[in-house]
Amino acid sequence: MPSVTEILDTMDYGPAPEGNAHVLDWLKAHEQGFGHFINGSFTKPSKLFDVANPATGQTLARVSQGSAADVDAAVKAARKGFGPWSKLSGHDRAKHLYAIARTIQKRERFLSVLETMDNGKPIRESRDIDIPLVARHFYHHAGWAELIADEFPGHQAIGVCGQIIPWNFPLLMLAWKIAPALAAGNTVVLKPAEFTPLTALAFAEICREAGLPPGIVNIVTGDGATGAAIVDHPDVNKIAFTGSTEVGRLIRKATAGTGKKLSLELGGKSPFIVHEDADLDAAVEGVVDAIWFNQGQVCCAGSRILVQEGVAPKFLSKLRRRMQSLRVGDPLDKSVDMGAIVDPIQLKRITELVEKGKAEGGTLLQASCELPGSGNWFPPSIFTDVEPSSTVMDVEIFGPVAAMMTFRTPEEAVQIANHTRYGLAATVWSENINLALDTAARVKAGVVWINSTNLFDAAAGFGGFRESGFGREGGREGMLEYLVPAWEAALKPEPLVKAAPLSALPPESVEASAIDRTAKLSIGGKQARPDGGHSYSVYGGKGKAIGQAGLGSRKDIRNAVEAAAKASGWSSATAHNRAQVLYYIAENLSARADEFTARLRAMGQGAKEAKAEVAASLARIFWYAAQADKYDGRVHATKSRHVTLAMNEPWGVMGLVCPNEMPLLGFVSLVMPAIAMGNRVLAVPSPHQPLAATDLYQVFDTSDVPGGVINIVTGERDELAKTLAEHDEVAAMWYFGSNAKMVEAASAGNLKATWTAKRRDWLSREQGQGAEYLRRAVQVKNIWVPYGE
């Protein structure tokens, strides 16, 4: 008589189809085609294109191709709706979001089946993960709407938000973007992916059914040209994009200088780190969720599997055995593990990259499952015998293909994990909590899962570092992407001014003997002459030359960035120690207050104004010293049993381009929040009045500021700013000048976060200091730590 184990080994899955008659009836009711959803109603269908079922290749529906005129009509409707919607109380907006959440829950089965038919993902994933999370996002953000006046005082809605979402999680990505936007008081124009627009159109019907006022949510379908029309529209105040890094660069360039707020959630090549003390069986199941979930069409998929050398053979054996048991087939079958690739175009890309991986010497291991005869299918796959620079370890494949390599030590694991231009997510497996948390702290990723993977919740922020984009979606940090401080919204943009080259300034109006000295650059804690050996005259009141400053160049920026990169110990220092250094800076500046007042007077300020600027600078340093160990992270209350730590981490090396006005206070107001949060900075002071900043050399030297933490390069501001924006090792940049377009466009190559701020009153505590500076001096890393049973 066979044992229970033998019976289980020989049992096969029977068919378990999910009924889709109700979805087919809905599609038949729209067989004439779908129009756009604008101002609370659907437009007449026009310029239709087919939407296919990835599992069969058959046409599901026909959808309208959005034109620039359609986008313009949607933006006008959103603008008209913005005034009344933003003026509603948070409580009234919350009621609308609650109504949407409840209606989604009532339609869960319909939405799950429609999503699976449109996208190709297994019904188990749509039913158990995607759609419940959609409802969760609207419930969660209804709560934010209710609490917005208390939790975000002094903030207001941005305006009309253009939102462009991908095809891998069509309805969930919609919820990620629309829910916080509406909670904050914004209105939206959203474009779903052309491959998967159907659940967005179903959501439009839900908005109408739930009683959402016209114009608050507008949905325009179409291809990339439709998205470009949204990005380019002059009356859109914010762009939120999820998609490829390549398109993200185009959007960064297109929005440069427009004043539009931008958040980008882009590609990834996430490491999946397995230490030798890990629970290998659990880690194998983690791989299933990391790379074969949603057919690997996940931006944060754990596609780079890094396994410690001693357990790698055993782990690979277990993983190959588990891979063979995966079932690939009809996504509407509840027993299927992996569904169809979204479109033949994506299937072709996956196939080409896999062939390239084989050509480079990688060994391809695939599940021996039988694939359906029609539709877009690719089997679960793993590459071995790869290097960190191999194509399959470097390029985002966006399919069910992982690459595995080994490491010897935890230090090497972190080095390999960070050997990528991306930084979206990471997974760490270890039974040693100290090792797991140490790895999580050192890996460069916006989300880190410990002994788990691909966990999402509306209460926890999601977003990446480096070329994975900037901005967060979800949680408190996600809400701030759709709000702006009221004082900042009231500021006027600084008009573009083409300054005369410093080298072309008039000759000195006093004899050379009256010029006291030439201020050098400050690089790595040492005064340095400019690489080119040039300097320029600095003029004070009545046009008299009061000194000279170094004319910095691209090479000086390079040297300063290298010095800042070496000073990494500052970022790992405790907040208490950083606070002590800032207090020491204030103490030493206070002792030399008269000297700095005299310098400002020499540059043309009156006695009263100069004294006020020095006093404000001292107060500002003290304030940021106090904040250094108080602007801390949070623990997010997520649905799963985790302590989800939202940690504020320094960017690393920051470029700071200071304003012309208030040469001392403007410099202090940018440098102090940045270093208080653990960044190392390269500061370009006021080009025409740099001596107030260069006089700080000795203050820093005597205040225990480590070499390389504060680097100062004087010279042509916009030339130096462009170099900083283009430099790959500068992680974030603040620019206070008139040529924001140049800076934002130059940053598109490396997709660094930029703050091109408007002119402000630096003496004002509201405008010149505060939480907004601290928030922009950090990036939030969410670490999911298992907690409880």
Which residues have a catalytic role annotated?
A: 265, 299
Contact 165, 193 (CB under 8 A): yes
Residue 765 CB-half CA count within 13 A: 8
Nearest to 186 by CA among 136, 122, 113, 238: 238
Other CB atoms within a 10 A radius of the CB of residue 194 amount to 20
CA 479 to chain centre: 13
Interatomic CA distance for residues 644 and 727, integer angstroms: 33
Q: Give backbone dihedrals phi and psi of 473, rounded to 5 degrees, phi first.
A: -125, 125
Q: What angle do CA 178, 183, 186 make, to 5 degrees?
A: 70
89: amino acid identity, one letter: S
Interatomic CA distance for residues 661 and 480, integer angstroms: 29
Interatomic CA distance for residues 121 and 52, integer angstroms: 14
Nearest to 239 by CA among 161, 186, 158: 161
Report DSSP state, residue 468.
Answer: G
Containing H/E element for 680? strand 680-684
604: amino acid identity, one letter: G
- Paired tokens of 210: 């739930």
Interatomic CA distance for residues 342 and 55, integer angstroms: 8
Check residue 263 and give left, alpha or beta (phi > 0: left; psi -120 to 50: alpha): beta
Give the pairing of strands 304-308 and 271-274. parallel
Q: Give backbone dihedrals phi and psi of 270, rounded to 5 degrees, phi first.
A: -80, 135
Nearest to 252 by CA among 788, 784, 733, 766: 733
Tell me the Cα Rg of the chain.
28
CA distances (Å), 369 to each of 51, 295, 303, 375, 745, in order? 28, 14, 21, 15, 47
Contact 190, 215 (CB under 8 A): no
Nearest to 598 by CA among 614, 579, 620, 582: 614
